[in-house]
Amino acid sequence: MADLFPSPGFHGAGADRQAGVRARQAARLSPVVALAAAGLLLASMFAGLLAGAADIAPRSVLLQLLDWLPLVSADSGLAPVELGLLSEIRLPRIVLAALVGGLLAIAGAGYQGVFRNPLADPYLLGAAAGAGLTTTAAIVFGRGDDMAVGIPLAAFAGAVGGVLLAYGLGSVAGRGGGTATLVLAGVAVTSFLTAVQTFLQQLRVEELQRIYAWILGDLGGGWGQITLVAPYAAVSVVIMLLHGRLLDVLSVGDDEAVTLGLNATRVRFIVLLAASLATAAAVAVSGLIGFVGIVVPHAVRRLTGTSYRIVLPISLIGGAAFLVLADLLARTVLAPAELPIGVVTAFVGAPFFVAVLRMTRRMET
């Protein structure tokens, strides 16, 4: 298993590498940066609550939000229909978008720390393909209208199963192959699972619209799906945040980790599992929403530096704000029609991915 995570070539004096370790360990999250990220998230969520076919006054929305706070009483003046629209449709959608965006972004940062590669993202190891296959199977073979819970559970199981299958294949074939072996195992697993998914789609052609709607992303699951994945989200986020300092040590080489008494393989395995759990939880309730795990962590590193003690929490907040804003665009660009959220993130993420790829190639040369 250790062969899956070799130390990449690192040129430079040992003193320079030790200095890099100390600099990353000394990094602290600036209150200004944290407040700015939190302010962006709150502003985007408030804008999302205002967007929709029915106009609700910003003052009424703000008063209603205050009224929902403990020990606070405020009269928003909202009619029962407006209150129901706000509390049962718009607010859960915004919360779900923030939850999914935060999970995908922090998972992307975790994967990039494990693989030391800015192009790694939550779908690297077959999570998306596994979720797509099991969701397609649930739609094709499911019965009745009780799939609101069945589809998220199927997606969750498929995402975790895809990651475990890719990791197991990489472990068996990975001796001496390095990180590239694990990535290639993920590609192979993704290709196989996608082929099986395509076969299942042909068994129930009339369900293709429903399948593709899920594949393109959907944030309309409501409070039930938020409750469904909240425990898994909390566990995965806490684990990754607690490993930020250790990822800083690993980022400058395994030799330094060994001298500090750190088990590099164990740390990477734990972060890999936590990132995969976060990805599975997000995919289970939202479908396949790409590029969040690449765009947000990379932008955060450009703004705040490379220490994972900062990158991980800011990616969590920034990813939440990013997907809330993307959902806002999806609901307003073609209103009253609605774009799939995955289409919006792809429009933003695909050019960003190309830019990151070009910068990475220039750094390597």
Supply the CATH number for residue 217's domain: 1.10.3470.10
* pTM (predicted TM-score): 0.85
80-92, pLDDT tens digit by residue?
A: 999 999 999 999 9
Average pLDDT over residues 240-252: 90
Q: 116-127 burial string, b = 16+ CB within 10 Å, else e? A: bebbbbbbbbbb
The pLDDT assigned to 20 comes to: 53
Question: Helical H runs in the chain?
Answer: 14-26, 31-50, 58-67, 80-85, 91-115, 127-141, 147-173, 179-203, 208-215, 223-242, 244-250, 254-259, 264-286, 292-304, 308-332, 341-364
357 has a pLDDT exceeding 90: no
- The pLDDT tens digits for 116-142 are 877 778 877 788 888 889 888 888 887
Please check the confidence at residue 79 and state whether its pLDDT lies above 70. yes
Q: How many domains does the chain have?
A: 1
Across 206-224, average pLDDT: 81
Give the residue, 177 or 260, on which the prediction is more confident.
260
Question: Across residues 163-175, what is the average pLDDT?
Answer: 78
Q: Which pLDDT tens digit goes with each residue over 8-48?
A: 443 444 545 555 555 555 567 788 888 999 999 999 999 99
* Residue 155 domain boundaries: 2-364
pLDDT above 60 for 188: yes
Q: Using 50, 70 and 90 to split pLDDT, how confident is the model at 148? A: low
Q: What is the pLDDT of residue 24?
A: 56
Rg (CA), the chain: 21
pLDDT of residue 206: 76
For all residues of the chain together, what is the average pLDDT?
A: 83
Q: What is the pLDDT of residue 180?
A: 67
Q: What pLDDT is stored for residue 182 in this prediction?
A: 73
